[in-house]
Chains A and B, each alone.
Chain A
Amino acid sequence: MADLTMSDSSSATEDSLFDRSFRTRWRVGFDRVVGWLLPLLFLVAILPILDLVGYISYRALPTLSFQVLTSTSLTRTDTLGVPILSTAEIMAFSTVLAVAFGLLGGVATAEFLSERAAGWVRMSANLLVGLPSVTLGYFGYFTFVLYFGWGLSFVAAVFTLAFFMTPYIFRTADLAFTSVPRHIREAAVGSGAAPHQYILRVATPIAFPQVLNGIFLAMAIGIGETAPIVLTTTLSTTLPSTLYSPVSFLTALIWENYAQSTATPAGRALVDLAFQAAFLLIVVVIALNVVVRVISHRFEKRLEGLYQ
């Protein structure tokens, strides 16, 4: 066998661990520098967020008071009582609809569809999630406002927002039920369980935390959406009284007022209101995310025993 030896490197350098060659020092030094620089990039992400939360709090908190939050007086334009209630109302209805469609759809996909069909459906859901919000808002405008003839109204907004939230709930429900361990599923079948019995009694308790999380996350996303609301309804300062009345929504409020001229006191008040709405939205979104994490944590321990 040919013995190919390397051309005349001194074996002393070869064997020495204290290599001082330039190239090696460069390599090691570069790695060390990168090791400091790359983590610093996190500042690029963290500083803006801190600045955003900080600035919004700074603009919102000074004028924020209990009265501002709860007053539903029609004579004042600087209270959030109506927008908050209206937002809650829309969210409630939209969530119910989205859960109805999304949960049923997700469970049906996880349990009854063939893998091929499920693949298509899951891809559809993923595509829906990636769509621009204006596309869904515009669709809502055409379908509910024009085609169904509901006009710019409460119902149109509710349905459009529900459309928007459904794919999120669908995906997590699908994942939750598909993740039920196989041996549990087989144990249920082996004991003679019918599909509805299996789903209701066995799979649901296991999938429940994940589904609940999915719902909260969909709500966090839904409450932050602007286009589905603005494009399907007119905005007012009163609570929606009928199905077809105009509504108020926190994000829409920000959209309406963010660029108001600050030359007049009225204008300034409106901009402050927008900041307060923004502050509330941040609080709600963070709160929902915390709730999701808490649920994940608590149920993680309970379900540990299943995954033998």
Chain B
Amino acid sequence: MNTVNSTPAPVPAGEGKVVPSPPSPPSETSRPVPAPRLRRLGRVLTIIPALVPTAFLVAIVLALFALSGFAVNISWSPFQVGVRWPENFGWGFFGSDWDPLAAPPGQPHWGVMVFIVGSFLTAVPALFLSMAIGLGLAIASTTYLPRSVTRWLDSFVDLLAGIPSVVYGIWAFVLIAPIFGGTLNPWLADHVGFIPGFGPPPGLAGGTGLPVTIFVLTLMSLPITTLLIRDSLRAIPTDLWESGLALGATRWEAVRRISLRHGSRGIVSAAFLGFGRAFGETVAVAMVLGVNAAYPINFYSSTGTIAATIFGLLDSAYGNSHFLAALSEMAIVLLAISLVVNLVGRRFISSIIAYEVPGI
């Protein structure tokens, strides 16, 4: 299926106009005009299903806010106690002290900063890597390889996106992580240990920790970045590119000086959407990073991300209304960041990208 790079041609709607019963000439409206009587009822009925996605989105936002008790005092079961923020949590919510199940006389703490930092620590390096590789692949595809070859290679990269997260997780956990833990991490600790943060200890022998997480996240965001950059490079008019060559530029010079400049919007978009993917990845991260409510001591250790923590800790939170509220507030933070990143990312490109690649 081909990617469509333009929004659909606008079709005028007969809003509010009184249209006479005989159909208008095709040039004025291209939507069929129903009989006047049915129109009002029909219009309402038909528009309702269209609002489904917006309704879903609104529902999600409301639900998360409601569960967290933000501005709403919930006292119906299963909550025994109405939870109200910030009275119950205070500003410590963004602190670093996370201890939700502290037994009395200790106080439970809900500082989620650890997880926010953890999410960024995993997503940002993965973004850099997947953008770098994605750029390379996109340039190779559009400039250096013949069409017959790129068709197959591009499909392969798109296949990366179709693999379920949990399958990535089990492969990475069982096969890749031990390689990291047993071989790669110690080697790195020995050889690049002079860089602060990269020195020993080299983390668990099982290998779970930041390095393998970044590895997996890079693979998972790669299809998105590659596809978006590739599409923006393909959209460049041929004669623009050829003008560069005709002035004596090599392919690389033409790409660097002309194509990347022309396609810069697509590249920015790729960065945002790729970041969104890495930031929100839940299951694979939970499997190879675990849920560790502590700042990483060095590059090889584990920590927690927002998405993986919510996923991993929900079991422990059943019945504990405060805990649930804390988790749902983390979910709000996650949702807010996701929405912003996606909104900004989509701004620079047409709203229709490749619908066949999941997650875009």
Contact = CB atoms under 8 A, between A and B. Distances in A.
The answer to A–B direct touch (Cβ < 8 A) is yes
Interface of A: 27-28, 30-31, 34-35, 37-39, 41-42, 44-46, 48-49, 51-52, 55-56, 59, 101-102, 104-105, 107-109, 111-115, 117-139, 141-143, 146-147, 163, 166-168, 170-172, 175, 178-179, 182, 185-190, 192-198, 210, 213-214, 217, 220-221, 223-227, 230-231, 251, 254-255, 258-259, 271, 274-275, 278, 281-282, 285-286, 289, 292, 296
A278 B136 contact: no
Interface stretch (B5-13, B106-114, B187-195): B5-13
A227 B50 contact: no
A143 B328 CA distance: 12
25 contacts: A37-B136, A41-B137, A46-B156, A52-B163, A56-B167, A105-B52, A122-B351, A123-B351, A124-B56, A127-B342, A133-B280, A134-B331, A139-B63, A142-B66, A182-B9, A182-B11, A193-B32, A195-B42, A224-B164, A230-B311, A251-B283, A254-B169, A255-B169, A281-B166, A289-B162
Interface string B144-155: 110000000100
A227 B283 contact: yes
A167 B52 CA distance: 9
Contact of A114 (B15, B140, B328): B15
Contacts of B228: none
Given A170-B52, A189-B31, A131 B167 contact: no
Interface of B: 1, 4, 8-11, 13, 15, 23-26, 29-35, 42-43, 46-54, 56-57, 59-60, 63-64, 66-67, 78, 133, 136-137, 139-140, 144-145, 153, 156-157, 159-160, 162-171, 173-175, 219, 222, 226, 250-253, 273, 276-277, 279-283, 287, 307-308, 310-311, 314, 327-328, 331, 334-335, 338-339, 341-343, 346, 351-352, 355-356, 358-360
Contacts of B162: 220, 224, 285-286, 289
Given A142-B66, A185-B30, A49 B311 contact: no
B164 A132 contact: no
B49 A48 contact: no
A143 B63 contact: yes
A132 to B, nearest CB: 3
B242 to A, nearest CB: 16
A143 B8 contact: no
Contacts of A52: 163, 167-168, 171
B64 A226 contact: no
A167 B250 contact: no
Contacts of A112: 13, 31, 43, 46-47, 50
A224 B166 contact: yes
A45 B222 contact: yes
Given A56-B171, A115-B10, A30 B250 contact: yes
A59 B34 CA distance: 60
Contacts of B226: 45
Contacts of B307: 132, 134-135
A79 to B, nearest CB: 19
Contacts of B311: 134, 137, 227, 230-231
Contacts of A48: 160, 219
A126 B346 CA distance: 9
A127 B140 contact: no
Contacts of B34: 194-196
B171 A282 contact: no
Contacts of A123: 343, 346, 351
Contacts of A167: 53, 56
Q: Which 4 A-B pairs have the closest CB atoms?
A: A224-B164, A132-B280, A108-B50, A31-B250
| Interface of A, helix, strand, loop or mixed by DSSP | helix
Given A105-B53, A220-B162, A182 B144 contact: no
Given A52-B167, A102-B52, A108 B47 contact: yes
B26 A186 contact: yes
Given A107-B49, A132-B307, 13 more contacts: A31-B250, A112-B50, A115-B10, A121-B54, A124-B54, A130-B359, A134-B308, A135-B335, A167-B53, A175-B355, A259-B173, A282-B167, A292-B1
Contact of B56 (A166, A193, A210, A271): A166
Nearest to B169: A258
Contact of B32 (A182, A189, A289, A292): A189
A190 B143 CA distance: 47
A138 B251 CA distance: 49
Given A45-B157, A45-B222, A138 B331 contact: yes
Contacts of A224: 162-167
Given A31-B252, A45-B160, A49-B156, A258 B287 contact: yes
A42 B137 contact: yes
Contacts of B219: 45, 48
A225 B314 CA distance: 17
A230 B311 CA distance: 9
Contact of B140 (A31, A42, A132, A133): A42
A28 B276 contact: no
Nearest to B167: A278
A138 to B, nearest CB: 5
Given A166-B56, A258-B170, A111 B31 contact: yes
B169 A198 contact: no
A132 B119 CA distance: 12
Contacts of B359: 129-130
Given A52-B168, A142-B66, A124 B57 contact: yes
A124 B46 CA distance: 18
Given A105-B52, A194-B35, A221-B358, A133 B15 contact: no
A24 to B, nearest CB: 9
Nearest to B171: A52
A5 to B, nearest CB: 20
A51 B219 CA distance: 13
